[in-house]
């Protein structure tokens, strides 16, 4: 690793995680047992075998509002087609899971009552008992539904969001590539010297340009506060305009010489990085560069 990006190894993060988990478990357990521990034993046993007849309206209303808010947030990726917009999906999923946990008893009870009303005469005893249990112990059953919903949320949002972003990035790169062939040599650590000129001398080749990928850290200000974001980037030359079509709307790829960079229209708008502006980047080797924006693409 370069000296600008040192590797820090410390047991403190793991220790802090263990302490936070222990504190969260203690707090949740004490809060859950606080009311019951102050009741007479006979009353506590009797209450454990029964539930409130109607779920709390305030709790149900708050849960419904959270679910509606999650639905509104889930539209953000359709309006902002960026990595940041896609990350909102995870927040929406968590809000929906919390909302389901809060209004779960009312939903479970309503579903159980609707199913009971549609039972045909002569239904099997196990079916009748199961639906009666759903109606009588909706609070307990919702305690099972909520963890299942949380598991689905983590799988669909945190896992599939990343794969969706990667697939979309690959698809955009493939769509914007005009070249019919690509030459790579990963086993050799890269193409040998002279490959570019040799390819250009091949009969029938109209254009050839080198291209590579790297990761950069973009330093910028957001709401007056310093912020950084790591993102993948392509290493291009002015000849890239003959083999790539990025949908340039301002400037041109033929200006990519020296400390220059091309940015997306979304980044140019949200980070004040329009044509001619300078942005601070940290390259993969740790070098800091103040690059000038020479092209903006869709």
Q: Please report where in the chains the tokens 């969706």 appear, as a residue.
A: 164
State the sign of the Cα–Cα–Cα–Cα dihedral 83, 89, 90, 95: positive
Flag whether 121 is in a domain: yes
Specify whether 166 is located in the same domain as 265. Answer: no
Q: How far apart are CA 236 and CA 245, in angstroms?
A: 12
Give the pLDDT of residue 155: 80
Q: Which domain holds residue 203?
A: 186-297
Flag whether 33 is in a domain: no
What phi, psi does 11 have (nearest 5°)?
A: -80, -5
Specify whether 228 is located in the same domain as 292. Answer: yes
Flag whether 8 is in a domain: no
Flag whether 206 is in a domain: yes
Q: Residues 235-261: pLDDT tens digits?
A: 888 888 888 888 888 998 889 888 999
Flag whether 224 is in a domain: yes
pLDDT of 2 higher than 70? no
pLDDT of 46 higher than 70? no
pLDDT level of residue 68 (50, 70, 90 thresholds): very high
Specify whether 153 is located in the same domain as 212. Answer: no
Domain count, the chain: 2
Q: Which of 108, 140, 170 is the last residue of a domain?
A: 170
Specify whether 215 is located in the same domain as 247. Answer: yes
Specify whether 204 is located in the same domain as 236. Answer: yes
Flag whether 181 is in a domain: no
Q: Which of 112, 139, 170 is the last residue of a domain?
A: 170
The two structure tokens encoding residue 54: 């109607």
Give the pLDDT of residue 20: 94
Give the pLDDT of residue 23: 93
Q: Residues 168-212: pLDDT tens digits?
A: 777 777 777 778 888 888 887 788 888 888 988 899 888 888 888
Flag whether 118 is in a domain: yes
The two structure tokens encoding residue 251: 């400037």
Specify whether 235 is located in the same domain as 291. Answer: yes
Flag whether 17 is in a domain: no
pLDDT level of residue 65 (50, 70, 90 thresholds): very high
Q: Which of 146, 170, 194 is the last residue of a domain?
A: 170
Give the pLDDT of residue 293: 93
Q: How far is CA 146 from the centre of its chain?
A: 21
Give the pLDDT of residue 45: 67
The two structure tokens encoding residue 18: 């263990």
pLDDT level of residue 47 (50, 70, 90 thresholds): low
pTM: 0.56
Specify whether 237 is located in the same domain as 287. Answer: yes
pLDDT of 51 higher than 80? no
Specify whether 146 is located in the same domain as 208. Answer: no
């Amino acid at each position: 690793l370069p000296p600008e990006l040192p590797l820090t190894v410390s047991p403190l993060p793991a220790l802090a995680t263990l302490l936070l988990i222990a504190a969260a478990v203690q707090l949740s357990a004490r809060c859950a047992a606080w009311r019951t521990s102050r009741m007479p034993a006979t009353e506590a046993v009797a209450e454990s075998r029964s539930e409130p007849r109607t779920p709390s309206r305030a709790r149900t209303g708050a849960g419904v509002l959270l679910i509606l808010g999650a639905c509104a947030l889930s539209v953000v990726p359709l309006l902002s087609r960026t990595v940041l917009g896609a990350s909102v999906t995870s927040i929406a999923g968590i809000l929906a899971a919390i909302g389901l946990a809060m209004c779960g008893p009312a939903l479970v009870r309503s579903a159980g009552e609707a199913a009971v009303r549609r039972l045909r005469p002569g239904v099997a005893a196990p079916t009748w008992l199961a639906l009666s249990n759903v109606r009588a112990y909706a609070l307990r059953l919702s305690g099972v539904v909520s963890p299942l919903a949380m598991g689905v949320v983590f799988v669909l949002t945190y896992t599939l969001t990343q794969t969706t972003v990667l697939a979309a990035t690959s698809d955009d790169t493939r769509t914007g590539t005009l070249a019919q062939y690509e030459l790579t040599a990963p086993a050799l650590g890269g193409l040998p010297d002279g490959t570019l000129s040799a390819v250009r001398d091949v009969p029938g080749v109209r254009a050839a340009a080198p291209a590579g990928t790297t990761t950069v850290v973009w330093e910028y200000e957001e709401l007056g506060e310093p912020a950084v974001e790591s993102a993948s980037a392509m290493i291009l030359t002015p000849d890239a305009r003959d083999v790539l079509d990025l949908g340039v709307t301002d400037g041109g790829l033929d200006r990519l010489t020296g400390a220059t960079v091309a940015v997306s229209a979304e980044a140019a708008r949200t980070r004040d990085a329009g044509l001619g502006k300078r942005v601070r980047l940290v390259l993969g080797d740790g070098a800091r560069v103040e690059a000038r924006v020479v092209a903006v693409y869709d």
